Amino acid sequence: MIIVESGPLTEMKAHALTTFPDECCGFLYGTEQTDGSRIIIKILEVNNSKSGDKKRRFEIAGKDYMRAEKFALENDILLLGIYHSHPNHPAIPSEHDRIAALPYFSYVILSTIPEKIDHIKSWQLNELSQFEEEVFSPAHLNQSI
């Protein structure tokens, strides 16, 4: 389960709406519980550095990733995943998402439509390098958010 606190959730949604119709992206920070569930307490917005079609692609520059790891170390929190948006598309990882995905990370995807977050889902790679959905809270995936 991944629980996103209201502050970072609000920021993440605002980021996705601001960048619409382009994809947004950023990092998720927080803590891990003994049962494996994750609590996201902070996000870090980053620039979508993809050159070309940002409406259906995102890329995070290596320097931004180094900055994100440094932030986690300096603030004694865990870098737990990545969020990005799918403008006008469901929050289901594409093959592009899967190929570039890293184990361990949670991948939160926000499906955006004009002026609205349609739904949010979160995913993690399994041992076979396939995405499995993880329970996203507080706003469940297919509910109106």
Partner 1 sequence: MQIEAGTIGEVIDRITLDFPELKKHLLDQQGGIRSFVNIFAGDDDIRDLQKEKTPVNNSTVISIVPAIAGGSH
Q: How many CA atoms lie within 13 A of 69 on its CB side?
A: 7
Angstrom distance (rounded) from CA 136 to CA 10: 15
Among residues 42, 65, 71, 137, which is the contact residue for partner 1, using CB under 8 A? Answer: 65
Q: Is 101 a binder of partner 1 (CB under 8 A)?
A: yes
Angstrom distance (rounded) from CA 87 to CA 33: 32
> Of 37 and 118, which CB lies nearer to partner 1 in the complex structure?
118
**Which part of the chain contacts partner 1 (CB under 8 A), choosing from 1-9, 28-36, 90-98, 135-143?**
90-98
Q: DSSP assignment of 67-110, as one string?
A: HHHHHHHHHT-EEEEEEEEEETS-S---HHHHHH--SS-EEEEE
> Of 7 and 69, which CB lies nearer to partner 1 in the complex structure?
69
Residues that bind partner 1 (CB under 8 A): 23, 25, 50, 56-60, 62-63, 65-66, 82, 84, 86-89, 93-94, 96-97, 100-102, 107
